[in-house]
A and B are shown apart, each in its own frame.
Chain A
Amino acid sequence: MAAIKLELPATEEQIRSLRIGDEVRLYGTVVTARDVAHKFMVEEKPEFLKPLLKGTVIYHCGPIVKKVGDEWTIVAAGPTTSSREEPYQAEVIETYGVAGVIGKAGMGEKTSAGLKKSGAVYFHAVGGAGALLARCVKKVKDVLKLEEFGSPEAFWVMEVEDFPTIVTMDSHGDSLHRKVLEDSEAKLKQLL
């Protein structure tokens, strides 16, 4: 199956057309945010993030970075476990008009309902593929809250190209993770 190319920011119509199992290559601006950032976005709802996040994608990632001269380079940038953002994600998507999140291992029912309501998707990147995914980052455009949050937790604003993902939760309520969980639990019952 040929991969779908998706330019960011994306429209709701583009996002609604994606289904679980679709391979999608992302192009454009993504913004990293993990645990501290999600708590911050929900509790303080900072205005300065709104124009940055509208129609684009949040990446659950704490990259390894290196500063050469005045330029940041991304050394390794794979996804981190998304489920830690489950309490916050649906609200973040709605508040900031985010088109989707990139992460690993999927998210729960609250996020699934949020994706459906707001018209967003969950893009799964291959966990551990930090070296390969770093190559897809063409430029670090900005970094926010670096001093305060520390490097892994800061908002890294990155330009990506040909960034490989698989849609595992879509805006129609479907989740590949739910299906694999149900099937494996049924198998576990047999084995026990």
Chain B
Amino acid sequence: MAELADWGLELIRRSSTDISADVEASLRAARDREEDGSTARSTFEVILENVEIARKGGTPICQDTGLPAFYVHLPKDGDPDATRDGLIQAVKMATAEGLLRPNAVDPVSGKNSGNNEGLGLPYISIEFHDGDETVIDIMQKGGGSENVSAQYRLPDTDLHAGRDLEGVRKCILDAVTTAQGFGCAPGTIGVCVGGDRGCSYLGAKKQLLRRMDDVNPDPELAALEDRLHGELNELGIGPMGFGGKTTVLGVKIGVLHRHPASFFVSMSYCCWANRRRRLTIRGDQADIV
């Protein structure tokens, strides 16, 4: 799968160095809302200048290139082993080229593998779909933002949060307040309601693949996303936690059916450098958006 490895390398290059237009537009809008001369505004100026430097120079936006995660959809006759091998190869090449920082550390020995390959790394999820194309989404989020992600179990006595969307709202308000600037605010907030502990966290993370300007097809969830977006910005945490009008760039909520005894609310925080790109391969044509 030499070709897939090459396309995978290009996918990582785009994701690491060139932030998506929708994320950049959100950052520009956030800058424009801040007062002239404020620390918040100058922080957004630095962020946007950094985006430009990375794109022009072909260097990573941030030195923390995350634990690269790939979400793959293969056609029915696709080859999962070759896909996996190709992506691992791509990750190693990208690390050697300085597009990814070596981030795979053995928790027992403390040794860094040096090439981003390790137990469970890179993370590659492979599913089959009905289409005849291979679709590979990459997500790179920094460790700081992963560290402030959080999970709640409703009901929650301290928050007076019950097993309903109002309870979900309280969890997310609490989680983002606790996160302060630690996750490189303004963040994009992925939420999953339901599932078990494992798939709930994964569901929250997958919400971060949605475009910033999309609308949740479920009107109740769409309304909650809008309300939370407004309320979270009222917290005034601002970029980097310096104070300001934009604490989050967006809120994306998904649901999974739950066990009758469980009601999990998971929040996956993505740093402002929300790096995600999609590679689509049809026959011998490949395209990255």
Give A residues with C-beta under 8 Å from B: 1, 21, 23, 36, 61-66, 75-78, 80-81, 83, 104-106, 124, 126-135, 150-153, 164, 166, 168, 176-177, 179-181, 183-185, 187-188, 191-192
The CA of A32 and the CA of B103, in the complex, are separated in Å by 17
For residue A130, which residues in chain B have a CB less than 8 angstroms away from its CB? Answer: 50, 54, 59-64
In the complex with contacts A62-B63, A128-B273, A176-B242, A191-B50 CB distance below 8 A? no
In the complex with contacts A166-B242, A183-B243, A192-B61 CB distance below 8 A? no
- In the assembled complex, B35 has its CB within 8 A of some CB on chain A: no
The CA of A151 and the CA of B115, in the complex, are separated in Å by 11
A81-B144, A126-B47 are known contacts; what are 19 more A-B pairs with Cβ within 8 Å?
Answer: A64-B100, A64-B101, A76-B59, A124-B240, A126-B46, A126-B240, A127-B144, A127-B271, A129-B47, A131-B62, A150-B102, A152-B102, A152-B112, A180-B236, A180-B237, A184-B177, A184-B180, A184-B235, A188-B235
For residue A105, which residues in chain B have a CB less than 8 angstroms away from its CB? Answer: 144, 180-182, 240-241
The CA of A183 and the CA of B181, in the complex, are separated in Å by 13
Min distance, Cβ B96 to any Cβ of chain A, angstroms: 10
Q: Contact: B42 with A23, CB < 8 Å?
A: yes
For residue A66, which residues in chain B have a CB less than 8 angstroms away from its CB? Answer: 98
- In the assembled complex, B86 has its CB within 8 A of some CB on chain A: no
Q: Contact: B114 with A150, CB < 8 Å?
A: yes
Min distance, Cβ A32 to any Cβ of chain B, angstroms: 10
Q: Which label, helix, strand, loop or mixed, suits the secondary structure of the B interface?
A: loop
The CA of A164 and the CA of B170, in the complex, are separated in Å by 37
- In the assembled complex, B68 has its CB within 8 A of some CB on chain A: no
Q: Contact: A64 with B47, CB < 8 Å?
A: no
The CA of A131 and the CA of B56, in the complex, are separated in Å by 10
For residue A129, which residues in chain B have a CB less than 8 angstroms away from its CB? Answer: 46-47, 49-50, 62
- In the assembled complex, B122 has its CB within 8 A of some CB on chain A: no
The CA of A64 and the CA of B272, in the complex, are separated in Å by 19
Name which residue of chain B comes closest to A63, CB basis: B63
Of A64, A133, A150, A166, which one neighbours B112 at CB under 8 angstroms?
A150
Q: Contact: A127 with B243, CB < 8 Å?
A: no
In the complex with contacts A129-B50, A166-B39, A78-B177 CB distance below 8 A? no
Min distance, Cβ A122 to any Cβ of chain B, angstroms: 12
The CA of A140 and the CA of B180, in the complex, are separated in Å by 33
The CA of A135 and the CA of B159, in the complex, are separated in Å by 45
Of A23, A80, A128, A192, which one neighbours B170 at CB under 8 angstroms?
A192
For residue A83, which residues in chain B have a CB less than 8 angstroms away from its CB? Answer: 182
- In the assembled complex, B234 has its CB within 8 A of some CB on chain A: yes
The CA of A176 and the CA of B34, in the complex, are separated in Å by 18
Of A128, A150, A177, which one neighbours B184 at CB under 8 angstroms?
A128
Q: Contact: A181 with B60, CB < 8 Å?
A: no
The CA of A127 and the CA of B183, in the complex, are separated in Å by 9
A-B contacts, 28 of them at CB < 8 A, read A23-B39, A62-B63, A62-B64, A76-B61, A80-B143, A80-B144, A81-B182, A104-B181, A104-B240, A105-B240, A124-B242, A127-B271, A128-B271, A128-B273, A129-B47, A129-B50, A132-B50, A132-B53, A135-B53, A150-B114, A151-B101, A151-B112, A164-B46, A166-B242, A168-B242, A180-B181, A183-B236, A192-B159
In the complex with contacts A131-B60, A191-B231, A184-B111 CB distance below 8 A? no
Closest 6 CB pairs of A and B: A150-B112, A76-B63, A131-B54, A132-B50, A129-B50, A127-B184
Q: Contact: A177 with B170, CB < 8 Å?
A: no
For residue B20, which residues in chain A have a CB less than 8 angstroms away from its CB? Answer: none
In the complex with contacts A180-B238, A192-B170, A131-B103 CB distance below 8 A? no
Q: Contact: B98 with A75, CB < 8 Å?
A: yes
In the complex with contacts A126-B46, A131-B50, A188-B237 CB distance below 8 A? no
Q: Contact: B101 with A180, CB < 8 Å?
A: no
Q: Contact: A192 with B173, CB < 8 Å?
A: yes
Name which residue of chain B comes closest to A134, CB basis: B59
For residue A104, which residues in chain B have a CB less than 8 angstroms away from its CB? Answer: 144, 181, 184, 240
Q: Contact: A180 with B241, CB < 8 Å?
A: yes
Q: Mark B89-106, 1 if CB is under 8 A from A, else 0.
A: 000000000101111010
